Amino acid sequence: MRVALVHSFGGLTGSGARDADEAVLDQAVALGGAGHDVRLVAAGLGRDPLSALRAFAPDVVHVHQLAPGSGRAWAAEWTGPLVVTLPEPGPARARWLPFPRGPRGGARTDPLLRRADRVVVLSDLGRETYERAGLPPERITVLPHHVPAAERSPGGDVWVCAGRLAAGENIFDLVRRWPAGRRLDVFGTGPLEQACRAAAPASVRFLGAVGRPALRRALPGHRGLVLPGRWRAGTVPRLYPEALAAGLPVLAFEGSAAPRTVRADGTGTVTGWDAPLAAALDAADRIFPALREHCRGVHAKRYGEAAWAERVERLYDELTATAPPAP
């Protein structure tokens, strides 16, 4: 099958832009490994993908994230199967998400969403949000991004946290509450780095920013992942399935989508900002070692490359079975 992946490579903004680019590249590798002919097509301001699509003549066009202001009218001229993946509905994107009452008129007037044969969302929360926004439920498919498997490790006694050291990520709130003597590795940099270093006990190590491959290699040797973020009310970070791939259970703080996912998957524990952190860590110390294999199983079933490829192939096959020839 010939598949075109359309995405604004390098044209997105915000802390999740690089993750979005890497997710599309990972999916291209997965589809290619499954035997499909994959073409990456750049789109964005001043980049109309229609001519490139017509030259490639794919069986399926799968649009991922487009930068705000990107042209979308070309979708009305494409007659072949069209899939659109929507981002998780977090507050940072609220100003341009395709809600019916949004500034662009939303799903009813957006030419890309109006034309899409199927809309892919990354979580059940995303499905609920976009259904409320006006997308027909029968056109929505939940399909989380996949992440590569990681090497096995028995783990250790050091916790890990990763993210931008900035307001909203809550890593400052985490490290200033972190119990002295408990070891924590923090990956990331940002404007609050000096404040975080000053507030943290000596048992917290700040390891700077690393690329995702290096972070994935580092995860398996830790006790568990701490997810303190609470400003991304609608998102589960990509770090979550990466931790599961490494066999790491998750300690999630209330106030985001992560606790709901952790509870549903049975992949860790949840605590609140008003609860004693030392007690939450003690409870996790008792149960997390026994959860490592379960976390790997959840990754393989929900977020693994083979599982993702099988699900997306079923989606593509369903759409191409009755589709007219591409232009």
Residues 185-228 have pLDDT tens digits of 999 999 999 999 999 999 999 999 998 889 999 999 999 999 99
Q: Mean pLDDT throughout 153-178?
A: 93
pLDDT in tens, 24-48: 988 999 999 999 999 999 887 667 8
Per-residue pLDDT, 326: 52
Identify the band that residue 322 occupies on the pLDDT scale cut at 50, 70 and 90: confident
- Residue 200, judged by CB atoms within 10 A of its CB (0-12, 13-18, 19+), counts as buried
On whether residue 150 sits in a domain, the answer given is no
On whether residue 152 sits in a domain, the answer given is no
> Which CATH number is 242's domain given?
3.40.50.2000
Closest CA to 244 of 272, 273, 264: 264
- Give residue 225's domain range: 159-303
On whether residue 153 sits in a domain, the answer given is no
Tokens of 4: 């075109």
Same domain for 135 and 170: no
Q: What is the spatial distance between Cα 227 and Cα 107, in angstroms, rounded to a whole number?
A: 32
Q: What ranges in 82-179 are assigned the alpha helix state H?
A: 111-115, 124-132, 171-177
* Sole residue written with tokens 């606790």: 259
Number of domains comprising the chain = 2
Q: What is the spatial distance between Cα 293 and Cα 298, in angstroms, rounded to a whole number?
A: 9
Per-residue pLDDT, 169: 85
Question: In 90-121, which positions are buried (b, 16+ CB within 10 angstroms) versus exposed (e)?
Answer: bebbeeebbbeebebebbeebebbebbbbbbb
Q: Mean pLDDT throughout 291-298?
A: 97
Q: What is the spatial distance between Cα 284 and Cα 63, in angstroms, rounded to a whole number?
A: 40
The better pLDDT of the pair 221, 88 is held by: 221
Same domain for 309 and 291: no
Same domain for 296 and 227: yes
What mean pLDDT is reported for the chain? 87
CA distances from 169 to 67, 192, 256 (A): 23, 10, 11
Same domain for 313 and 244: no
| pLDDT over 70 percentage in the chain | 88
Same domain for 208 and 290: yes
Lowest mean pLDDT among 19-28, 124-133, 213-222, 228-237: 228-237
Closest CA to 273 of 224, 223, 228, 226: 228
Q: Compute the Cα dihedral for 199, 201, 202, 207 and give only its sign.
A: negative
Statement: residue 74 has pLDDT above 70? yes
Per-residue pLDDT, 102: 39
Q: What is the spatial distance between Cα 189 and Cα 199, in angstroms, rounded to a whole number?
A: 15
On whether residue 260 sits in a domain, the answer given is yes
CA angle 64, 67, 69 (to 5 degrees): 125
On whether residue 154 sits in a domain, the answer given is no
Same domain for 292 and 165: yes
